[in-house]
Amino acid sequence: MTTKKNLRLEYIKKRLSISDFERKLWSKEIANQCLKLPVWHKNIFHIFLAIQKKKEVDTYPLLSLVKNKNKKIIIPKINGLNLNHYLYESNILIKKNNLGIPEPLNGVKVKTNLIEVVFVPLVIVDKQGHRVGYGKGYYDRFLNKCDKKIIKVGLSFFDIIEKIDDITDNDIRLNYCITPNKIIKF
């Protein structure tokens, strides 16, 4: 059975086997694929900051790309069971929290309804655009609060799988998934 728990274990293990060179290269390729997305008419982009020890897609190449397009960048910070969102500016201070997630220590807080595009962290995605995350529900709660027109983009080193068996009504589908060599639209 392809449950979130089983898939999470399998794909985190696969991701941890990726070399640092591959992670860096593939992250740049993912950022370059993002240039092909039909989102560049939007202005406010939410980008997660990667957990390096978990070998997530490095989002710094994407941050640089979005910044060079003169778009506003929003980064998240965990607050209890929810995420707060801060404007990413040159004077912002970033520090890893107790989970190893880089977060802003200061900055201008931004309301969820202003965000137009969200780059979503994930472990794996299925053909319907459902994702497996880390199981805490931060992004599903956040995305449920967003405008229904928000564009949700997952970033993954791996191709999509057939199906996740234990999807619930709280699971929010992505609009796109970006891998190093393609864009998948759902």
Q: Provide the residue ranges of all domains of the chain, joining segments of one domain with +.
A: 4-185
Q: CA 157, CA 122: separation in Å to the nearest integer?
A: 10
Tell which CATH classification among 3.40.50.300, 3.40.50.10420, 3.40.50.10480, 3.40.50.920 matches the domain 4-185: 3.40.50.10420
Instruction: List the chain pLDDT tens, one digit each, 186 residues.
Output: 689 999 999 999 999 999 999 999 999 999 999 999 999 999 999 999 988 889 999 999 999 999 999 999 999 999 999 999 999 998 899 999 988 899 999 999 999 999 999 999 999 999 999 999 988 889 999 999 999 999 999 999 999 999 999 998 888 999 999 999 999 999
Helix or strand run (H / E) with residue 185: strand 182-185
Helix or strand run (H / E) with residue 20: helix 20-34
**Which residue do the tokens 């759902």 mark?**
186
Neighbours of 132 (CB within 10 A): 25
28 CB contacts (<8 Å, ≥6 apart)? 61
